[in-house]
């Protein structure tokens, strides 16, 4: 799969990605993933039959999906690849680069419903208390973790926060999520207190003129998602947390703990910024497991 991609195909993929960003506000992460998916398909075609993705039929796509399965790639990643291909061929049809859509009758691969890994409330408490608060970097991290757990933001949303998105008097954060959709999320007293402390004691020590970014590095810019993920893992080690971690661990904990304490599913959907309630419903499985454990532990006839 090391064959090069024809120049005209690569240029068309780039134009498609630019159009997607301009018209649909697709995030950089999604754009990058789509670009990788389209190039992967072209490399497959080049290796197989010396054709291009602008000259394929449904049979070619079915062979590619079968090849992905044989390579052990997950249904989730294949579903995303198919989404990229469907959008690309819709674009190609609109631009009259092709005269039929080869993905029109392709069904998405069925995905097992993955239950997000979360942390217990005690583990979250340990993670939030693992920082050395006399260090400006760790005080910044403390404020970030508190905001993350209080709001359920995606990590990308957190690291890209600007000062004008924080409404201290209203105790709200204005979040710009996927597809540039905005939502208002309550911050809570604890997160607000740590934000105030970070602004007063650490932000300008990290960078004298921090500008509009809320959480800054010593270079003045925002953290990357990857850098913050490394920070989470570091504090998990400090707190001796051995549960499974992901970049969205605290987002999952936020959702699970709210449901465990009686939150309404549709309110949770709004807070998380899910466009479809079915995405939020995955957390009901976690809450149901918790209810079953409580029943088994405390009911006299369990």
β-strands 172-176, 166-167 pairing:
antiparallel
Respond yes or no: is residue 251 known to be catalytic: yes
Q: Could you tell me if residue 74 is left (phi over 0), alpha (psi between -120 and 50 degrees) or otherwise beta?
A: beta
Q: Could you tell me if residue 270 is left (phi over 0), alpha (psi between -120 and 50 degrees) or otherwise beta?
A: alpha
* DSSP classification of residue 107: P
Respond yes or no: is residue 91 known to be catalytic: no
Q: What is the edge-to-edge ordering of all strands in the sheet holding 166-167?
A: 166-167, 172-176, 182-186
Active site residue: 39, 178, 197, 205, which one?
178
Rounded to 5 degrees, what angle do the CA atoms 38, 80, 259 make? 155
At a CB cut-off of 8 Å and minimum separation 6, what does 92 contact? 12, 16, 54, 98, 101
Respond yes or no: is residue 154 known to be catalytic: yes
Active site residue: 154, 203, 231, 257, which one?
154
Respond yes or no: is residue 301 known to be catalytic: no
Active site residue: 86, 174, 233, 274, which one?
274
Q: How far apart are CA 302 and CA 126, in angstroms?
A: 31
Tokens of 162: 């600007």
Tokens of 224: 């990357």
Active site residue: 142, 231, 248, 252, which one?
248
At a CB cut-off of 8 Å and minimum separation 6, what does 279 contact? 269, 272
Respond yes or no: is residue 197 known to be catalytic: no
Active site residue: 231, 251, 252, 257, which one?
251
Respond yes or no: is residue 178 known to be catalytic: yes
Helix (H) or strand (E) holding 147: helix 136-151
Q: What is the dihedral of CA 15, 18, 24, 25, to 10 degrees?
A: 170
Please give the positions annotated as active site.
Answer: 154, 178, 248, 251, 274, 283
């Amino acid at each position: 799969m090391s064959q090069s991609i024809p120049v005209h195909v690569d240029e068309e993929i780039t134009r498609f990605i630019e159009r997607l960003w301009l018209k649909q506000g697709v995030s950089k992460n999604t754009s990058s993933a789509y670009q990788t998916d389209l190039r992967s398909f072209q490399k497959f075609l080049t290796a197989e039959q010396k054709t291009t993705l602008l000259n394929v039929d449904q049979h070619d796509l079915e062979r590619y999906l079968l090849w992905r399965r044989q390579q052990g790639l997950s249904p989730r990643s294949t579903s995303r690849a198919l989404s990229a291909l469907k959008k690309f061929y819709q674009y190609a049809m609109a631009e009259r680069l092709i005269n039929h859509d080869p993905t029109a009758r392709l069904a998405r691969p069925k995905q097992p419903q993955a239950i997000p890994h979360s942390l217990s409330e005690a583990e979250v408490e340990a993670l939030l208390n693992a920082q050395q608060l006399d260090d400006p970097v760790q005080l910044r991290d403390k404020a970030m973790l508190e905001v993350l757990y209080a709001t359920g933001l995606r990590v990308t949303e957190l690291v890209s926060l600007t000062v004008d998105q924080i409404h201290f008097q209203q105790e709200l954060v204005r979040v710009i999520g996927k597809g540039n959709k905005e939502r208002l999320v309550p911050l809570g007293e604890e997160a607000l207190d740590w934000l105030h402390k970070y602004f007063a004691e650490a932000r300008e020590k990290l960078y004298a003129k921090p500008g509009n970014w809320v959480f800054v590095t010593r270079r003045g810019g925002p953290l990357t998602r990857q850098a913050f993920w490394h920070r989470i893992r570091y504090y998990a080690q400090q707190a001796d947390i051995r549960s499974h971690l992901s970049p969205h661990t605290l987002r999952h904990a936020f959702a699970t703990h709210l449901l465990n304490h009686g939150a309404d599913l549709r309110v949770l959907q709004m807070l998380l910024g899910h466009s479809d309630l079915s995405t939020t419903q995955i957390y009901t499985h976690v809450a149901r497991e918790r209810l079953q454990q409580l029943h088994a532990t405390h009911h006299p006839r369990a």
